Structure 1
Amino acid sequence: MEYYPKIDVSCIIINYNTAKYTFEAVKSIIDNNTAIDLTFEIIVIDNNSEKNDFEHLESQINILNSDCVKLIRSNFNHGFGGGNMLGVHYASNSRYYAFINNDTLQVTKNCLKLLRDFMLNTPNAGICSPQMLDENKNFRVTIDHFASLPREILKRAILEKLFPSKYLNRKTTYKSPQKVNYVQGSFMFIDALSFNKIGGFDTNLFLYYEESDLSLRLLKNLNKDTYLIPDAEYIHYKSKSIQRNINIKIEQKIALLYYIEKHHGWFAKKILNTHFVIRYFFSSLIKPKYWKLWLVLLAGAPLSLSLKQKQKINPL
């Protein structure tokens, strides 16, 4: 099937009760990407925010009066992967998708063009990402290793020291493009045709491990690699739309164990889950809030306990 892209990039952003950040992210993309040889659009998916938050965002976007911005309101919280897939549904036929968190700001001038040019010149690239910075423009870890039993039990730092050729140092400041396992989901620039071929995000994952799963499937199925592009930079305020609590930690463990079983098999999941059951039993003796997590792990951390199953359809 032939694929004829109409524009270069469809930028997809999810808003969830953080209209202020979303508007600034949209404005940042428009202000910083002015190259005349690049065409792009911005699709904002409101993931069933409170009515006043959506109305505030809608009024701010209307002030921009930009034809390149589409605002879509969902009556259901689809999570990260599902929300982005909804954005893909409303996107034009694009050569690339840029999945960008709403709590980000563009730093590098014409960042989208820089990433597009890299992808055009690197046929084996499926995903690339700029270097992430914090709000003070200091280095922030952008790359990571695929989840596995060694990573979860031995931990990243030990693996990086013991096997440096296999486990790239995440905290190094790189000067040239680096092939990596995966990049943070806060800014992923993706070849649209490859993304479409593998079916996009796995929407069983509600909040975590979507980017790792996507990079691994692109590598396994299409031999497409993921790259960090240090010459491009962006600010990520990080987790402004997610309030950290025990339910979020439970969601993270459910997603991790689902990912492990999907890519490494049932037995690997069983080993890791047993490790967590023992670990969080003792943690719960010190921090009682972990008993809720321990009970979920004891039940095998099934997807039926995911936050995805607790979402309600609300009238618009």
Structure 2
Amino acid sequence: MDINMKSHNLFIILLSAVLMTLLGFPIKSSGETDLAFIKMPISAQSAAGMGVFTQMSGSPIAIFENPAGIQNLSPKICLSHGFWFSDISSDAFAFSIPVRQRTFAAGFNFVRIPGIQIRETPTEDPLNEIEAQYLTVGAGYSQQIRKRLTIGASVKYLYENLYTETGHGYAFDFSGRWLAPSSLDVSILIQNLGKMNKLDNESTTLPRLLKIGIVRPDIFIEDPFRVSVGLSLETNLDTKESGARVGTEICIKNLLSLHAGYQQIGSLNRKSVGFSIQAKRFELDYALLFYSKDIDNPSIFSLSRRF
């Protein structure tokens, strides 16, 4: 296969743009590409509530979403698989280990886009069929420094492979969680402080985000139900685009939890629903996401175990 440089550059840009468009993320007018895959929800537990409850999830996968949320009293592992659209899939694994007032966690998230057909002219038979791959490997740390205050941090290695080009980079996340006297669970999070190398001479920028989350746990308690609600406000520190997420969680006898969420960023809105089933040391989570009428609704399954 012989593709000239101009066509090659155009392919790289178009592939990145298609992924961002399908996932509902804006494309920068400057021509720079944005790492859409690190904005994708990873765990079903988080995605079902639009990420509102991540700060209190206790899941090791929170190293990718809010490192203060990995805080836990028991060792834990989590597996997650996402069915997206156009054969796009994601797989994640993470584990956490508590040590006194600290919790350490590590894991990875792998996204693949198979079946991309290469053509130089509009014909039925492609010249080749390739696969785009994206990988995040992370390690995180969380510590309770006061009775009501927890801090967390994580570092992520980022890798992307588009056709014949590869990109590498790193990013840091920092967060804090405060249990306010008014029964509010408040979190502040700064995501993706880092850099990427150029991909085929095209600048790849990290989506630097500032998020503030406010959760009211157990706002309603009436046996066997417990209801929690939450709000998350976010701003892209580069594009200045802002948005909000709301979520609710209904727990039934600590055996079954029902989740729902809504997100509004600019003119874009999304919805989510899901459930969690707890059985002894195991937890099964499922999330169904509603992104666009033009594509299949993505779904995510997660399985966790405490030790």
Q: Given the two structures, how large is their TM-score scaled by the length of structure 2?
A: 0.24
Higher strand share: 2
Higher helix share: 1
Q: Given the two structures, how large is their TM-score scaled by the length of structure 1?
A: 0.24
